Amino acid sequence: MARVVLGVGASHSTLMNTHWDRVAGVDRAERFRAALGEARDQIAQARPDVAIVIGSNHFRGFWLDLIPSFTLGVDVVEAAGESGTPKGPQRTDPTFAQAIAEDLVEHGTEVAISVRMQIDHGQSHAVQYLLRDIDVPIVPLVINVFAAPLPRVRRCVELGAGIARAVAAVPGDARVVVIASGGLSHQLPWPSRWQDPENDDEEFLVEAWRNGRGEWEKYDKRRREIIVAARPTLFPEFDEEFLGRLDRGELRHYENWSTAQVAAAAGNGGQEVRTWLTMAAALGFAPGRTLAYSAMPEWLTGMGVAVIRP
């Protein structure tokens, strides 16, 4: 049977690509980047046949016209290529991906599927840094963490357990790596509720989220300006506790947290920890190892990298 051989969690930020010159030589930044390289090497050593990449979508492939809680890319996958991330078609394994989707649905997790998925840096940042020069197909899993209502944290944990079961049901001896991309704590300059924008920038963002399908580039320049100008808000105490619990195999601690609790403790961008919890559940909440943590206000984000072995 196929099996999950490694789990990796890693934060992402496009500012790491576009503004690296501002932090080159800064120990916090160099330490995080080195940890990405270490995680990448561990993935290579695991000899994966496929990588399930769990991440968010920042309204470049999913829009308010249709945004499921969970969507699995089961055929063509295109990367948007924003801010120096990979662009264009990605290698995929449609047979494996469809088998995972069917098993998840059969056992009670109704994931949506996409036969032509556009991913953004919510997955492609991981492809860029964690799968560099590793020729492996990806199965992207997008979790809605930005357009309320969000899936319950407990439901994400159930999804992760379902992924492990679905992988084990695939015939053959495929080796699977599960990658979580996102987090840790950060506060994006986005409306807390897309239904109630509070200023001109928020009204613009909601317009982009509503109307961006097929023409997201039209909105991207001002979107980028809003992000770059944002005031950094991090919650390093949450990040350090979260990673400590990962190291001890205690991430199940968060499974009953509400969306409001996550926002209060880790900011609206901290909702991306759902990806880490999904990955950890797929690894049976085994104790892991944090490779690095860097609070990076320059990138608006608490940046962490960790690995979990089954």
Please write the tens of the pLDDT for every residue from 193-242: 888 898 998 899 889 899 988 787 788 888 889 988 889 999 999 999 99
- The answer, yes or no, to whether residue 26 has pLDDT greater than 90, is no
Q: Which residues contact 43 (CB under 8 A, 6 or more apart)?
A: 6, 8, 51, 130, 131, 134, 177, 179
What is the amino acid identity at position 171? P
Name beta bridge partners: 293: 304
DSSP class of 136 = -
The domain segmentation of the chain, as residue ranges, is 3-188+230-308
What pLDDT was estimated at residue 82? 85
| Tens of pLDDT, residues 115-174 | 999 999 999 999 999 999 999 999 999 999 999 999 999 999 999 999 999 999 999 999
Q: What is the pTM of this model?
A: 0.96
For 5-20, the pLDDT digits (tens) are 999 999 999 889 988 8
Distances (CA, A) of 277 to 150, 160, 176, 184, 242: 15, 8, 17, 12, 10
| Alpha helices (runs of H) in the chain, residue ranges in sequence order | 14-18, 27-46, 94-106, 121-130, 153-169, 200-211, 217-228, 236-248, 259-266, 273-282
The C-alpha atoms of residue 279 and residue 210 are separated, in whole angstroms, by 30
pLDDT at position 294 = 95
Mean pLDDT, the chain, as a whole number?
A: 95
d(CA 283, CA 306): 13
* Mode of pairing for the β-strands spanning 70-80 and 138-143: antiparallel
279: CB partners within 8 A, 6+ apart? 7, 8, 9, 54, 160, 178, 179, 180, 308
Numbers of helices and strands, H then E, in the chain: 10, 9
- Cα–Cα distances in angstroms (integers) from residue 135 to residues 47, 91, 131, in the given order: 10, 8, 8
Please give the pLDDT value at position 212.
84
Dist. CA 269–CA 250, nearest whole Å? 22
What is the CATH number assigned to the segment(s) 3-188+230-308? 3.40.830.10
d(CA 272, CA 216): 22
Instruction: Name the one residue in this structure whose structure tokens are 């990955």.
Output: 279
